[in-house]
Amino acid sequence: MSTVIEVKSLSKTFGTKRALDNVEFKIEKGSTVALVGPNGAGKTTLFSIVCGYLKPSSGTIDILGHRPGDASLFDKISALPQDAQLDPKFSVLQQLTFFAKLQGMSGKAALEDTKRVLTLVDLAHVANSKTSELSHGMRKRVCIAQALLGSPEIVLLDEATAGLDPKNAKAIRSLIASLQGDITFILSSHDLSELERLCDTVLYLEQGQLSSHQSDLHKTEQGSFVTLQMLNLDADMQDKISNLAGVRHIKQTQSDELVIEYTKQPQPFDLSLLALIHEHKWTYKQLVNGRTLENQLFVD
Ligand SMILES: Nc1ncnc2c1ncn2[C@@H]1O[C@H](COP(=O)(O)OP(=O)(O)OP(=O)(O)O)[C@@H](O)[C@H]1O
């Protein structure tokens, strides 16, 4: 795997406010990276610097061998800014072909590429509609289509599903999933749960500092943990579960939730757990193999 982005000792200050504080990370080609953190953590600042919209106060960023904003990155990296706007007076087709031509495509190539990206986001049928006639979710998908024009290698999406209903948010996640591997995605959100199934790497920013950087989340973690949500969880249940063969550690992560770490057993562990639940006539709300991203990041 090759590194497509390498950030070293990156800091950004606005007056006395230190928005990014000595941030360092590498992103491998083809990975899907979640950039998560609470409001004001520095996600948009980091995005803006990577895209070349803002200059860092100190530190270096290497993107495919170039500095952010370098002309040679023009068709290799694209971004959906958090507050992306479309012009309400023009049709979807007019706006996207305009952006495609800005990338240097001829009129014919721009039109073809616009049709291609509109099909990708399932909006070919509204190509001739003005963007003011579209729903919020559709407009967001048009902006994502714009970010996909010209087949970029790296795509940054800032809060791509913010404010969308579950159906539209799922459509966007499915689209990203279908393009994973060919494109390196960096997706920002303050909602951890939204990105956890999509991403293999997480950058967790808090007050400008990168407090956790894990790669291959699913590959290394999946299989040795079970997350169990129970109705009326009590100490007796925890005791009985901890006596199951293979249990190494149990952690109560919420009033109704246990994260159980286990070693491989001849009988699949989730089946043993379900058998125990059945035997005692307990009621479980949810049983998921693996740990949520939130539990991986914040619970030892
Ligand atoms: N142009 C600016 N001038 C002054 N302070 C700024 C500027 N841009 C960002 N900041 C400050 O830098 C910090 C990081 O902001 P940033 O927008 O990067 O956070 P964020 O993680 O994207 O937040 P959110 O999830 O709310 O979008 C905040 O404290 C913010 O107030």
111 CA to centre of ligand 1 in angstroms: 37
- Separation CA 264–CA 171 (nearest Å): 36
43 CA to centre of ligand 1 in angstroms: 8
Interface predicted TM-score (ipTM):
0.96
**Chain centroid, CA 224 distance in Å:** 23
Q: What is the pLDDT of residue 190?
A: 72
Residue 299's pLDDT band (cuts 50, 70, 90): low
Average pLDDT on 65-86 reads: 85
Average pLDDT on 97-123 reads: 93
Residue 83's pLDDT band (cuts 50, 70, 90): low
In this structure, what token pair is assigned to residue 282?
A: 């307990």
- Separation CA 95–CA 22 (nearest Å): 38
- The residues near 32 (Cβ < 8 Å, ≥ 6 apart) are 176, 180, 184, 185, 187, 198, 199, 200, 201
Ligand 1 atom, smallest distance to 208 CA? 14
**Of 77-86, 124-133, 230-239, 250-259, minimum mean pLDDT range:** 77-86
Digit-coded pLDDT (tens) for 181-209: 889 999 988 776 677 777 888 888 889 99
Residue whose CA is closest, atom 12 of ligand 1? Answer: 19
114 CA to centre of ligand 1 in angstroms: 33
148 CA to centre of ligand 1 in angstroms: 26
- Percentage of the residues of the chain whose pLDDT score is greater than 70: 91
DSSP string for the chain: --EEEEEEEEEEEETTEEEEEEEEEEEETT-EEEEE-STTSSHHHHHHHHHTSS--SEEEEEETTB-TT-GGGTTTEEEE-TT----TTSBHHHHHHHHHHHTT--HHHHHHHHHHHHHHTT-GGGTTSBGGGS-HHHHHHHHHHHHHTT--SEEEEESTTTT--HHHHHHHHHHHHHHBTTBEEEEEES-HHHHTTT-SEEEEEETTEEEEEESSHHHHHTTSEEEEEETT--HHHHHHHHTSTTEEEEEEEETTEEEEEE---SS-HHHHHHHHHHHTT--EEEEEES--HHHHHH--
Digit-coded pLDDT (tens) for 137-190: 888 889 999 999 998 999 999 888 877 788 888 888 888 888 888 899 999 887
| Cβ neighbourhood burial of 225 (10 Å; 0-12, 13-18, 19+) | buried
Q: Is the CB of 19 under 6 A from ligand 1?
A: yes
∠ Cα 175 178 179 (to 5°): 90
Residue whose CA is closest, atom 27 of ligand 1? Answer: 39
Digit-coded pLDDT (tens) for 232-272: 999 999 999 999 998 988 988 889 999 898 888 788 898 99
pTM for this structure?
Answer: 0.76
Domains of the chain (ranges, CATH numbers): 3-217 (3.40.50.300), 222-298 (3.30.70.100)
- Separation CA 232–CA 272 (nearest Å): 20
223 CA to centre of ligand 1 in angstroms: 38
136 CA to centre of ligand 1 in angstroms: 24
Best residue among 12, 16, 39, 45 to mutate for probing ligand 1's pocket (most ligand atoms within 8 Å of CB) is 45
44 CA to centre of ligand 1 in angstroms: 7
Average pLDDT on 271-293 reads: 88
Ligand 1 atom, smallest distance to 48 CA? 18
Q: What is the mean pLDDT of the chain?
A: 87
Q: Is the CB of 232 under 6 A from ligand 1?
A: no
Q: Is the CB of 50 under 6 A from ligand 1?
A: no
141 CA to centre of ligand 1 in angstroms: 25
Residue whose CA is closest, atom 17 of ligand 1? Answer: 44
Average pLDDT on 199-225 reads: 72
